[in-house]
Amino acid sequence: MKLLIAVIQRQDEAALTRALAARRIGVTRVSSQGGFLREGNVTLFIVIPDHRVDEVMSLIREHCHTRTRYVAPLPPVAESGEFYPSTPIEVQVGGATVFVLDAEVLGRA
């Protein structure tokens, strides 16, 4: 068995979880936040047999899209009254960040 931990963007959650449910693939969702952008995202926990990993990865690729965000870098420490215009930097987010771990299901209580 494998545990997939997938960090996805909120906009992609509904389509992906619908596609997983249609294939009777169980999923647990947790609201999360990226450490860099500090924006809300969604982390999905999916436990599946080894032979279904490719199937789930295909669904993630199909439903999770890359998006461009612009972030204003933090200005250097300034004396009061000084103004540092900051040029936004472009950041690509997603489609998804996926970790695949070995899992053992010992039973359900």
Does residue 65 touch ligand 2BA according to CB under 6 A? no
Does residue 48 touch ligand 2BA according to CB under 6 A? no
Q: In what order do the strands lie in the sheet with 28-33?
A: 28-33, 40-48, 2-8, 96-102
Q: Token pair for residue 63? A: 């439903």
Decide if 97 contacts 7 (C-beta within 8 A). Answer: yes
Q: From CA 7, how far away is CA 42, in angstroms rounded?
A: 6
Does residue 29 touch ligand 2BA according to CB under 6 A? no
Q: From CA 64, how far away is CA 9, in angstroms rounded?
A: 7
Count of residues of this chain found to bind ligand 2BA when the rule CB under 6 A is applied: 12
Does residue 97 touch ligand 2BA according to CB under 6 A? yes
The binder of ligand 2BA chosen from 19, 53, 94, 100 (CB under 6 A):
94
Does residue 46 touch ligand 2BA according to CB under 6 A? no
The binder of ligand 2BA chosen from 1, 14, 30, 91 (CB under 6 A):
91
Does residue 83 touch ligand 2BA according to CB under 6 A? no
